[in-house]
Amino acid sequence: MELPRKILIGDGVISSLSEFVQDIGYVGSTIAFVTGRTVKKRAGSECKSSFKTSPVKATWHIVADSSVSSVLKLKRSLIKDIPDFIIALGGGRAVDVAKMTAYHLNKPFISVPTSASHDGIASPFVSIRGSNKPFSIKAKTPSGVLADTSLLAEAPQRLMASGCGDLVAKITATKDWELARDENNEYFGSYAANLACMSAKIILNESNELRTKNRYGIRIVVEALISAGVAACIAGSSRPCSGSEHLFSHAVEYLVGPNYGLHGERVGLGTIMMAKLHDVDWELIIETLEAVGAPTKAKQINLSEPQVVSSLIAAQTLRPDRYTILNRAKLDKRSAFELAKSAKVI
């Protein structure tokens, strides 16, 4: 198992980033910060202040998206003077690009999320657009995760709602994993599955407290996302966190495009439909998503009925090695439409 060595969560902890890095044991002379333009304006000065008494030399690299071209561009920028370690400061794009680049360069990586929007902040898995695999792939596990709740609270509410969508997905992901064990003789890790499920259940139980985006709610969501990421580290695969609901999201991105909802929003819609296939309480998932302000209908992220149907059908073929409820359902155009309609997604 490759796990994060240190996790720090709290208000204002961004100011102790330099000390955090030293505690992990990194005493190198060069750091590469990977971030977005807006995030650098929000938090870049605090990061720089943290290292003002340190001899460490920092370079800053702006990424616009989480694509293969962004990874290659960053890798070219770093290859002449490879840093001792890489710090991702930002949301999903910065974290994924930094994580993948750290993997290619075989350098340690630290995750400093600025939004609680997905579980990749603590997991080794990335979703990179333009690769030959339209689903998450394994890269580099973060050596450390520093989550400043005051910084996270500044992010739009929609991002935290998206994180909740990514968390409720663990309900169907673990159901798919159990199914793969029972019907396909696949390894199933009870501990990793239970840890992921716990991350989902706390969102189900606390959903009414999360829409206000207070510090209590931010901490609940970010702790749950980190726990889910750790579950993937323990499992050695994305199985406890990603199943048929993620395949639906990847299919939407692959067939329709990346600008139809955030990752967690698409995954939340997929979870509703896959929960219905699994015969679990899909209506509770709708209530939870509505309570946190996440979409429960395709039209809320501008997806049409035909696009939902075609994405459900395509989801079955995206990853033949991953056995899920879709293998049993064998959806066609009619049954896919009936599923989406009966689950109230369309």
**What is the per-residue pLDDT across 1-24, written as a single tens digit (0 to 9) for each?**
889 999 999 999 999 999 999 898
Spatial distance between the Cα atoms of 32 and 91, rounded to a whole number of angstroms? 16
pLDDT at 25 over 90: no
Same domain for 331 and 221: yes
- Say which residue, 307 or 58, is predicted with more confidence: 307
Domain span holding position 204:
157-342
Same domain for 34 and 146: yes
Residues contacting residue 249 through CB under 8 Å, at least 6 positions apart: 263, 266, 267, 269, 270
Spatial distance between the Cα atoms of 295 and 263, rounded to a whole number of angstroms? 12
Same domain for 184 and 84: no
pLDDT band at 229 (very low <50, low <70, confident <90, very high): very high
Give the pLDDT score at 310. Answer: 98
Alpha carbons within 13 A on the beta-carbon side of 286: 17
Q: Which of 37, 148, 18 is nearest to 87 (CA)?
A: 18
Same domain for 172 and 137: no
Domain boundary among 152, 178, 195: 152
Same domain for 64 and 132: yes
Rg (CA), the chain: 19
Answer yes or no: is 246 within a domain.
Answer: yes
Domain boundary among 152, 171, 205: 152
pLDDT band at 62 (very low <50, low <70, confident <90, very high): very high
Tokens of 281: 């309480």
- Say which residue, 81 or 87, is predicted with more confidence: 87
pLDDT band at 271 (very low <50, low <70, confident <90, very high): very high
Answer yes or no: is 75 within a domain.
Answer: yes
Same domain for 146 and 165: no
Q: If you average pLDDT over residues 85-113, what whole number do you get?
A: 93
Q: Are 68 and 131 in contact (CB under 8 A)?
A: yes
Same domain for 166 and 307: yes
Answer yes or no: is 319 within a domain.
Answer: yes
pLDDT at 216 over 80: yes
Spatial distance between the Cα atoms of 76 and 101, rounded to a whole number of angstroms? 10
Average pLDDT, the chain: 93
Spatial distance between the Cα atoms of 192 and 336, rounded to a whole number of angstroms? 31
Same domain for 210 and 318: yes
pLDDT at 56 over 80: yes
Domain boundary among 91, 117, 152: 152
Give the pLDDT score at 137. Answer: 86
Answer yes or no: is 1 within a domain.
Answer: no
- Say which residue, 7 or 67, is predicted with more confidence: 7
* Residue entry with tokens 């309480």: 281
Answer yes or no: is 56 within a domain.
Answer: yes
Q: If you average pLDDT over residues 286-301, what whole number do you get?
A: 97
Spatial distance between the Cα atoms of 51 and 48, rounded to a whole number of angstroms? 5
pLDDT at 213 over 70: no
Answer yes or no: is 336 within a domain.
Answer: yes
Number of domains in the chain: 2
What CATH number does residue 120 fall under? 3.40.50.1970
Same domain for 137 and 60: yes
Spatial distance between the Cα atoms of 155 and 66, rounded to a whole number of angstroms? 19
Same domain for 175 and 135: no
Q: Are 215 and 155 in contact (CB under 8 A)?
A: no
Same domain for 223 and 288: yes
What CATH number does residue 281 fall under? 1.20.1090.10
CB-based burial label for 279 (10 Å; 0-12, 13-18, 19+): exposed
Same domain for 141 and 32: yes
- The pLDDT tens digits for 193-202 are 999 999 999 9
Residues contacting residue 259 through CB under 8 Å, at least 6 positions apart: none
